[in-house]
Amino acid sequence: MDINDLYDHNYVPYSKKATAAVVRSKSGKWFPGVRIENISYPLSISATQNALFYCLSEGHKPVELFTNEINMSMIPSWEKEFGFTANSLDSNELQNITFENPVLDSNINKMKQLKQLLDMAVVGESDFPVSAIVETEQGYFTGVNIECTSWNMGLCAERVAIAKALTFGSQKLISLEIHTRKGEFSSPCGACRQVIIEHLPKKQIHLHHADDSESIHFSEDLLPHSFSSSSLSNR
């Protein structure tokens, strides 16, 4: 996958305006991000946040961000917090970058993986790590929660995993696994439920609780009467 593919992987059914961002880490690895809109507009994930949080969720230190959302008001705050520099994205200059697909194959032990992932969470504010794995037609994509000192600028584990899967071109999200060792009952927040319903309609959501028990729920059962409107969907 290269930079041109990113525009095709955007999920922008409402604005139809595709954007892209890439982050270079201290280790020299490149992390891409695409814009992922939500029918509840404030829940949309910018390409910038997607690329940056992908980098952080894999335990890498961001050094440089290239984005065509350069005027986004949140960027200076993230720059300060995570110590990188933001630049405008010039796709021509970055033509030669190829992105390593982080997909995991279907032989993984999901519970073992979920437990290991907790150590990757960036939880300086809450010390409450959450991990998530989304199954797609390509395989499995992982996510952990990433926190910022401004709490509303962070993202939950579920959304980090979904964003990563879409960035790498997944067309079908099949199921989602969520785990935390600190909550007695692992349960996605309301905002995540709204995002889950948009990308995993009628799909199974597996909640792995602190005592190693599991409960399986259909996404619709987790958010009855979720927000939708034909006047938005048909745009």
Q: Which residues bind ligand THU (CB under 6 A)?
A: 123, 126, 128, 130, 145, 147, 154, 156-158, 188-189, 192
The 10 Å Cβ neighbour count of residue 48 is 27
Active site residue 158: yes
User: Strands, E, within 131-203: which ranges?
Assistant: 131-136, 139-144, 173-179
Out of 158, 184, 198, 214, which one is annotated catalytic? 158
CB of 195 to ligand THU, least distance (A): 10
- Rounded to the nearest whole angstrom, what is the least distance from the CB of residue 157 to ligand THU in the complex? 4
Least Å from the CB of residue 123 to ligand THU: 6
> Whose Cβ is closer to ligand THU: residue 75's or residue 162's?
162
- Angle 60-182-116 (CA atoms, 0-180°, nearest 5)? 40
Amino acid at site 149:
T
Nearer to ligand THU, 89 or 162 (CB): 162
22 closest CA partner among 43, 4, 41: 4
Please, which residue, 87 or 126, has the CB nearer to ligand THU?
126
For residue 199, the minimal CB distance to ligand THU (Å) is 14
Q: Which is nearer to ligand THU, 57 or 170 (CB)?
A: 57
CB atoms within 10 A of CB 87: 12
Report the candidate in 195, 194, 189 with the shortest Cα–Cα distance to residue 207. Answer: 189
Q: How far apart are CA 32 and CA 38, in angstroms?
A: 19
Residues labelled as active-site residues = 158
